[in-house]
Chain A
Amino acid sequence: MHLRTGRRAGLYLAVAVGGFRRYAAYGVATAAGVFTNTAFGFIVACTYMALWAERPGLGGYDQGQALAFVWVSQSMLAACALLGGGFQEEVQERIRTGDIAVDLYRPADLQLWWLAADLGRAAFQLLGRGLVPLVAGALVFPLALPADPVRWLLFLGSVLLGLVVSFALRWLLALSAFWLLDGSGVNLVAVVASVFFSGMLLPLTVFPGGFGELVRVLPWAAILQVPLDVLLGRHAGAAEVWRALGFQAVWALLLLGAGRLVQSAATRKVVVQGG
């Protein structure tokens, strides 16, 4: 059993490496993405500077923290696939054309297979699309980034959990194609929801009252807001940090579990399209 688990880990690692290399194969697309993220970073950073000059300490951040929020979130944007572009469109297309049959007969777990492929993609996009915009932002703006390596490690752990939550949400989106056959409608709704509820548009900490309480416990918060707060040191003490990571882990497990339920319903009841 132990040996088996080990070999399976090797398989999913190979799938992840393949996911990484697939995206690395398209250099021009990556360069275009880097340019877009950097340009957006400048626009949003200028907007935030105006906003925080008017309302200092908005959402509990000083201006340096707000700017760090902008640039780090820009460098995470592609990896988290908040604007789409992950695996979900591909899986939806495979369901529509019936190519999903090829995935289904493989002696591997469908969800883990695509999770591995998506984490491989995210790893590439974190490096390929994330580093340059962050460095560009740091050169031009005074970003309040921590010097403590432990904080960065916790941040990376939190990013990983956020990526799993992002995957799990998009897995549900991808599976919707078993019933809808065309995913473009739900994908659009999902992009709008995830851009707003992740904190991409504005940090979730700026929203007051019950609405603010609500958006901070939704799963999208686990994708972007929580990792950024871990990095910016908004959690007082280790216990608070672990609580934040636990919040992410709970959402990851709940959503992955929901995905498995939907998946078994989909494969049991719905016709594999085509042929």
Chain B
Amino acid sequence: MGVDAGVDAGVDAGVDGGGPEVLIELHGVEKVFAVRRRAGLLRREKHQVRAVDGISFEVARGEVVGYIGPNGAGKSTTVKMLTGILTPSAGRLRVAGIDPARERMRLAHRIGVVFGQRTTLWWDLPLKDSYGLMRRLYRIPRARFAENLERCVDRLDLGPLLDVPVRQLSLGQRMRGDIAAALLHDPEVLYLDEPTIGLDVVSKAKVREFLRQLNAERGTTVLLTTHDLQDIEQLCGRVMVIDHGRLVYDGTPAGLHAAGAAGESERMLVLHLERELPAVCVEGARVVKVEGPRQWLAFPAGASAAPLVAQVAARYPLSDLSVREPDIEDVIARMYAGRG
């Protein structure tokens, strides 16, 4: 019951205060891990890894923020500090006014967490059993639980899955099941760590549509890490890029492209020729890499691949080809190129 009162008070404060209420607040946050490495037979060297190296940002209530960066950049470490699982080595961190590491339990009632590659669901038991457990875990009043569950089941198409043991669910079904599990207690903030990883196109679209509705209707603040640029473009009004533990960009997704080298992003046509040849020459694209019989052609993301394919097919012995969409790594790589 105390939890409810807290939530209401928070919302009021946001309205009364005029400006947007700050919900997540990081100030010079660092996380340093001591790693022991084997150096010789018995000797071990201790050295430090700065996973997060002085990050500061604020997220207002109701924002949907993408938190992106290459593998090992410090994304998950940040999310773990925001949930209170990891304690920052330095700096100040507040979520809904709570110091996560100090009051992990109290904070847990106000946040929802989905780790894309892990599950909170009970592997061997029907999906609905896990939800019953969530009701007790978060002390959700029965009426509110029933209402929230019904909404999630309806929007995420979980109806036919409720009696199915979790181990029999597909990845996309399990992910939808996990997202529902994270929302039954009406969290103010939802952290999603790679929510669309490994999902097919249809499942990705469902998850994105659900998150959009959640944010629009309930004002839930969403912080998501992803490798999928479309997650960012379709969901986030703001994106933060982290690399080597530091924030290197904080702004709109459109601005992210502008920060890239040429302004416009490029797609890649990957050709598999029948034999090794010198770099092909086609109009509207440039060869960026040759590796044996394979060649990579970059062309503007806005242009069609069809005329290029026609040109190549007419003039070169082509055995196979594929088109690669621009991804976050490319955008970030170009960002660095643009700065350098």
| Residues of chain A having any CB pair with chain B under 8 Å | 7, 10-11, 14-15, 18, 21-22, 25-26, 97-99, 101-102, 104-108, 267-268, 271-272, 275
Contact = CB atoms under 8 A, between A and B. Distances in A.
B142 to A, nearest CB: 12
Contact of A14 (B84, B87, B132, B139): B132
A11 B136 contact: yes
B244 interface: no
A14 B125 contact: no
A96 to B, nearest CB: 13
Contact of A106 (B76, B108, B132): B108
B44 to A, nearest CB: 13
11 contacts: A21-B124, A22-B123, A22-B124, A22-B125, A25-B165, A98-B118, A102-B118, A105-B84, A106-B108, A272-B86, A275-B76
A114 to B, nearest CB: 13
Contact of B125 (A11, A21, A98, A105): A21
A180 B118 CA distance: 22
Name the interface size band of chain B: 20 to 34
A271 B35 CA distance: 9
Given A7-B139, A22-B122, A22-B125, 20 more contacts: A11-B133, A11-B137, A14-B132, A14-B136, A18-B133, A22-B123, A98-B118, A99-B118, A99-B119, A101-B118, A105-B84, A105-B113, A107-B104, A107-B109, A268-B87, A271-B33, A271-B35, A275-B77, A275-B80, A275-B115
Contacts of B117: 275
Contact of A104 (B85, B109, B119): B85
A107 B136 CA distance: 10
Interface in B115-160: 115, 117-120, 122-125, 129, 132-133, 136-139
A215 B275 CA distance: 75
Most buried by B among A97, A98, A102, A108: A102
A31 B315 CA distance: 68
Interface string B90-113: 000000000000001110110001
A101 B81 CA distance: 11
Nearest to A10: B136
Nearest to B193: A275
Contacts of B104: 105, 107
Sorted nearest first, the 8 A-B pairs with minimum C-beta distance are A275-B76, A107-B108, A11-B136, A22-B124, A105-B83, A107-B105, A104-B85, A99-B118
Contacts of A97: 118
B124 A25 contact: yes
A102 to B, nearest CB: 5
Most buried by B among A11, A18, A26, A275: A275
A65 B57 CA distance: 71
Contact of A101 (B115, B132, B139): B115
Contact of A102 (B109, B119, B137): B119
A192 B105 CA distance: 38
Interface SS of chain B: mixed
Contacts of A106: 108, 120, 137
A235 to B, nearest CB: 39
A101 B86 CA distance: 10
B85 A272 contact: yes
Contacts of B80: 101, 272, 275
Contact of B122 (A11, A18, A105, A275): A18
Contacts of B133: 11, 14-15, 18
A25 B138 CA distance: 26
Contacts of A272: 80, 85-86
A106 B107 CA distance: 10
A105 B115 CA distance: 11
A180 B119 CA distance: 24
Contact of A105 (B108, B119, B129): B108
Contacts of B77: 275
Contacts of A99: 118-119
Nearest to A98: B118
A108 B85 CA distance: 13
Contacts of A107: 104-106, 108-109, 137-138
A12 to B, nearest CB: 9
Nearest to B100: A105
A192 to B, nearest CB: 27
Contacts of B108: 105-107
A97 B35 CA distance: 17
Interface in B262-283: none
A174 to B, nearest CB: 17
Contacts of B118: 97-99, 101-102
B220 to A, nearest CB: 17
Most buried by A among B105, B118, B124: B118
Nearest to B167: A25
A7 B119 contact: no
A18 B85 contact: no
A105 B84 CA distance: 7
A268 B34 CA distance: 12
A102 B120 contact: yes
Contacts of A105: 83-85, 104, 108, 113
